[in-house]
A and B are shown apart, each in its own frame.
Chain A
Amino acid sequence: MACIEARGVRKAYGATRALDGVDLRLEEGRILGLIGPNGAGKTTALNAILGLTPYQGELKVLGRDPWTERDKLMREVSFIADVAVLPRWIRVWQVLDLLQGIHPRFDRAKAEGFLAKTTIQRKSKVRELSKGMVAQLHLALVMAIDAKLLVLDEPTLGLDILYRKQFYDSLLNDYFDGRRTIVVTTHQVEEIQDVLTDLMFIHEGRILLSCSMEELTERYAEVLVRPEQIGAARALKPMHERQLFGQSILMFDRVERKQLATFGEVRTPSIADLFVAVMGTAGQGGAR
C-alpha cells in the first residue's frame, strides 16, 4: 500500500492556486524532501496530507481520507509543523502526561530516554526553554510515537547549526528504521541532501520534478567544463549554465557521463543547484 497517494489535488485561496493538480505517490519506507520557494504550495500540500485543510481531488494517506478522518489518521501520523508550535504555557511533565493519556502509540519511557540526553527539566514550562530546546522536546515527543508517517515542515527553521545537525542525526539514528515514511520540507536543502531517498520540486502549486535520489544520480550530471571545450559542451544542450570562479559549470539531463567526462570533471549536482536549474527551465517555459 502506498503511504500517500494523491491524484489531481487542487486547493485555491481566492484567486491564488496554492495547489494546481498535484499527483504523487509515495511508498512506505521512503524519506521524501519537498523542495520549493516560499509560496510554492509546500505547506498547503502538507496541510492537505495532514487533514488540516480541505481540498479538491483525490487524496489518501495510509488509506484514509485525511480531511474527514484526521483524528483516526493522527494515531499513525505525527507531524512537526514549524518550530515552536508547542503551547508555551505547558510544562514538560504535563505534555508527557497528556500524550500518555491520549495517544495510543506514545511510549513515555522512550520520550523520557530522549529527554535524558538533553538538559530539559521536567518542571520547566515551554516558554522558559530556548528555541533549540523546544525543538528537542518536540522531536523527543514525536520520536516516542510509533507512527507510520512523520511529516516535518521546516522543523529546524531558526535553529543554530548545532541543533540542526543534531536534529537530523537523531532522527536517522533513533527513529528511522526503514519502515517508517518521512516527508520533510526545508530551506536548508544541503542539510537533508544525504538523508533523502526521494526528491520533489514544487512550484506554483505544481510538481516540477519528482524522482528518487538514485534516479537523480543517474539522470543529472554537472560538468566543470574546460574553457577550450565550452562550445562542444554547449552543443549537447545543457539545461543550465553558471559561472563559478571564472569556470563554467554546465548541468545536463540524461546525457552519458562518459561523454561528459571528456569536457572536464563530472559530478552529481547538489539539490540546491539542481533546483535552480529546474526552476530556470520552468521559468522560461522549458525553452533553452
Chain B
Amino acid sequence: MNPEANAAPENMTATPARTVTQMQTFYWSVRRELWEYRSVYVAPLAVAAVYLVAFLISSSIRLPNQMRAALADADKMKHLVVSYEFGAAAILLAAMIVQLYYCLDSLQSERRDRSILFWKSMPVSDAMTVLSKAAIPFAVLPAVGFCIVLATGLAMILWSSVVLLVHGLSPAPLFTQLSLFDNALGLLNHMLTVHILWYAPLYAWLMFVSAWSKRAALLWAVLPWFAVGIFEKIVFNTSYFAHWIQMRFVGGMNDSASTGTMGTGGESHEMAWQFWTTPGLWLGLAVAVCLLAATVRIRRSREAN
C-alpha cells in the first residue's frame, strides 16, 4: 500500500478558509461553557421555580388577610414586600453558589478529563479561553440572576394581583410599595456593583487556583487564607486579617446594600459615591486583572493531569 497511490491529484486546490472573527470565537466559547455547565441557568431557575410554587400556595391563603392588616395599619405595608426580597435573595444565593463552584472547576475539569488536549487543538488562544470562561461569573451569571429575579418578581406580583382581585381588594398598594421600576434599577445596580465589581478578585482568585492546582482546588483556594489568619492570631494575637477578609465578603453587601435591591433614591447617592471611591474596590479590580493574566499564563503551560 503506497500512500502516494491514494493521492487525489485532480483536486489540489485547497478549500479557502472561512474567516472567523474574534467575536465569533468568543461567542462559541461561551456557548461551549453553557453546554458544559448547565447549572449556570438551571440552578437559579430551579430555586426560582420552587420559590414561586411555595409563594403561589402561601399567598393564596395569607395575602388577603395581610393586605387587610396593612390597609388598617400602614406600618404593616412593609410585610407585603418581604417575600419579594426573600425570593430575590434565594435566587441570587443560588447564582452565587454556582458562580463559586464554576470558577473553581472551570480550568481544572479540562485537565482532569484530559480534554484540554482537544481544546488546545483548536485555533483558540489561551487568553480567549480564559476570557470566555471568566465571562460566566463576570457577565452571564449576574445577567441570568438579574433576569430570573425580575421575572420571578413579576410572576409573583401578577399572581398577587389576581388573588387580591378575587377577594375584592385592590392590588394598587402593592404596586406602590414595590415601586417596580426603582427596584429593577436598584437590582441592576446591585448586580453590577456587588456581584461583579466588588467580588471580581474573588472570582479571579478561584479561577487562578483552578488553573494552578492539580487537584483539591477548594482546599488551595481556602486554606492559605486560614493559614494567614491563624498565623497572625498566634504570632501577634490579633485578627486584623480575619476581620479584613470578613469585611471584603460582607462589606460589599453593606457598602452598597442601601443602593441595592430596596434602595429608593435619595440617600443612596451618598452611599453610591462612597462605594465608587473605596480604594478597596479599585485595588480589588487591579488584583483581579493580575490574577486573570496569571491564569492565562498558567493555562498556556499546564498539561493534562
Contacts and interface: CB of A to CB of B under 8 A. Distances in A.
Interface of A: 31, 47, 50-54, 70-75, 77-82, 84-91, 94, 97-99, 101-105, 107, 138, 146, 172-173, 176-179, 194-195, 197
A75 B3 CA distance: 24
A98 B36 CA distance: 13
A70 B28 contact: no
Contact of A103 (B29, B110, B122, B304): B122
Given A53-B301, A177-B11, A104 B124 contact: no
Contact of B110 (A74, A75, A87): A87
Contacts of B301: 53-54
B114 interface: yes
B261 to A, nearest CB: 35
Given A173-B6, A178-B9, A197-B3, A87 B113 contact: yes
B175 interface: no
Contacts, number: 121
B57 interface: no
B40 to A, nearest CB: 14
A86 B12 contact: no
B118 A70 contact: no
A67 B14 CA distance: 26
B35 A94 contact: yes
A127 B124 CA distance: 24
A88 B124 contact: no
Contacts of B4: 178
Contacts of B303: 47, 52-53
A115 B4 CA distance: 25
B142 to A, nearest CB: 24
Contacts of B304: 85
Interface in B103-160: 110, 113-126, 128
A215 to B, nearest CB: 16
B24 interface: yes
Contact of A102 (B9, B11, B124, B126): B124
B62 interface: no
B282 interface: no
B114 A31 contact: no
Contact of A31 (B3, B18, B20): B3
A73 B28 CA distance: 19
A86 B122 CA distance: 12
B59 interface: no
Contacts of A104: 17-20, 123
Interface in B212-261: none
Contacts of A78: 121
Contacts of B118: 85-87, 138
Contacts of A172: 1, 3, 6
Nearest to B129: A71
A157 to B, nearest CB: 13
A217 B4 CA distance: 17
A89 B39 CA distance: 13
A195 B115 contact: no
B8 interface: yes
B86 interface: no
Contacts of B29: 102
B7 interface: yes
Contacts of A91: 35
Interface centre among A31, A52, A84, A197 (most CB of B within 10 A): A52
A133 to B, nearest CB: 16
Interface in B179-211: none
